[in-house]
Structure 1
Amino acid sequence: MTALLSRTGARVERLPLARYTTLGVGGEAEVWTVQDHAQLLEAMEAPYRILGGGSNLVIADQGVPERVIRLAGQFAATDLTPDPHLSTSDQIVTGWVGGGVPLPGLLRKLQRLGLGNLEGTVGIPAQLGGAIWMNAGTRYGETFDGLHTLEIVTPEGARQVTPDELPWTYRSSGIPRNHIVTRARLNLRPSTPETVLDRMQAADVARKGQPKNRTPGCAFKNPTLEDGQKVSAGLLIDRAGLKGMQAGQARIAPEHGNFIVNLGGATATDVHALLQLIRERVPVPLELEYELWP
């Protein structure tokens, strides 16, 4: 389909969503690429979904009926200039960073500037808005560690909130599904490039055992047992003897049981079959970390 322009100038085209996901599966949808608030509000006039970096996401083989919105333009801009009114000797509050900014590139810029608080998210192939929405992170830290103010847009318009105004928890921001994180101001810790790099490398070393095939990331959240102890979902899947199990061209990774990988040509149906198998075989209830469309 040839790209069209909406009345506000948004780019509209029908595209296979698999190309925008780290797993590499998903059917077609009408994709709106928006550059500013006017285009975004127009895109939100019909049922919609928001697509960031495409990690943590399994899209149905038939695609989705809703519009799919991707952030560009001012929503992909980065302003790391310290705010002189909010920054101190031990806290840097930046200008606005767009929700469509890729997290890996943002972390590299912060490292070169010697700014910490987000090192624990190293290796997560998300855009900032998506990372905020699910409070993405690792054992070394999470996205909400480094946030000062968020801009959230709904069909009614934009509003600004602070993390204290949200019910955020482990792997959740508390932001409703139909709300889009368009920009954020970061709350960072002054350090040195060398120190920030050391912290990033320490977090990255812990990820070396993760699979190299295409994957959405961790499939399930680490559950909390009845005694209050949090246990690794990957360990539970390993103990159930499921590593290496395969459905079509999707496989439970031999390297780490909480990852499902695409061996090449996997479908969403294959992935769903493995998710169901895990839930049947693991004796502890598991909550999905993946987003499933539709």
Structure 2
Amino acid sequence: MRVERVLLKDYTTLGVGGPAELWTVETQEDLLKATEAPYRVLGNGSNLLVMDEGVPERVIRLAGEFATYDLRGWVGAGVLLPLLVQEAARQGLSGLEGLLGIPAQVGGAVKMNAGTRFGEMADALEAVEIFHEGSFHVYLPQELGFGYRQSRLPPGGIVTRVRLKLKERPLEEIRRRMAEVDAARKGQPKRKSAGCAFKNPPGQSAGRLIDERGFKGLRIGDAMVS
């Protein structure tokens, strides 16, 4: 385990965020120790806007055994989702193509049920291991209240591992599906971004509402609505 004072701007995709005490945990024992005081969990730092003042709580980041994976077994919550999507395709396993390009770690993707119009994280889950109140518990997806960009994890729970529901398919079929998803992403901004920050309200499209109100392109300093 490593504990250090850092600026969170170096750990977020937006490149903003003040000081914090970062606990990089590599084992279950590390996680037990790191959660002995108030904490927050940091994944890949996307969909995250951190105050310049920083945060007073410990910031926990999963590494070590939590960043290993076996696509036919358990996958650590600290694994990068883009890596997993590509590796699944390489092994001829289908089920993650709709998540192509989402800049998340697995744990964060589960927490917010990350997804696109082609699919979401909950679709690919068989089981989720969560650290909660000092012990590890395994949940079925239907127990976690997944919905549009949300879940109902136990309060303070930390996703540590998942088992994925993947199917063997011809590589050409998987690549074709990934190309379809990738084509839909071509118009997205290439500079620093928080990701897709606005949720669609019921029966509406957030993107369409932003366009209709003339907010697309609105800029304050170096921050812009795309």
Structure 1, residues 250-273: CA drift from partner, whole Å, max 9, x if none? 1112xxxxxxxxxxxxxxxxxxxx
Distance 1:149 1:36 in 2: 20
Structure 1, unaligned runs of 5 or more: 1-9, 81-93, 225-229, 254-294
Partner secondary structure for residue 109 of structure 2: helix
> How many residues matched?
226
Which residue in 1 is equivalent to 2:20?
Answer: 29
For residue 31 of structure 1, give the secondary structure of its aligned residue in structure 2.
strand
Question: For each residue in 1:146-167, what CA deviation from the matched residue of structure 2 results, as whole angstroms up to 9, or x when unmatched?
Answer: 1111110023211001102121
The equivalent position to 1:185 in structure 2, one of 163, 186, 206, is 163
Partner of 1:207: 185
Residue of structure 2 in register with 1:45 after alignment: 36
C-alpha distance in 1, partners of 2:46/2:217?
Answer: 21
Q: For residue 73 of structure 2, give the secondary structure of its aligned residue in structure 1.
A: strand
Task: Give the alignment's Cα RMSD to 1 decimal.
Answer: 1.0
Residue identity (%): 56
- Structure 2 residue runs of 5 or longer lacking an equivalent are none
**Which residue of the other structure, out of 213, 221, 225, is the alignment partner of 1:240?**
213
Deviation sequence 1:82-141 (CA, Å, 0-9, x none): xxxxxxxxxxxx211000000001111000111111111111000001001110000000
Distance (Å, rounded) in 2 between the aligned partners of 1:150 and 1:242: 38
C-alpha deviation, 1:38, in angstroms: 0.6
**Is 1:14 aligned to 2:14, yes or no?**
no
Q: Structure 2 CA distance, aligned partners of 1:71 and 1:193?
A: 31
Determine whether 1:231 maps to 2:222.
Answer: no
Is 1:168 matched with 2:146?
Answer: yes
**Which consecutive aligned stretches of 4+ in structure 1 deviate over 6 angstroms post-superposition?**
none
Find the counterpart in structure 1 of residue 123 from structure 2. 145
- Contact map agreement 1:120 1:141 (CA 8 A) in 2: yes
- What letter is aligned with 2:14? L
CA shift, 1:196, in A, is: 1.0
Higher Cα Rg, which structure: 1
Residue equivalent to 2:103: 125
Match in the other structure for 2:88 = 110
- Counterpart-to-counterpart distance in 2, 1:231 and 1:146: 26
1:45, 1:155 within 8 Å by CA — same for their partners in 2?
no
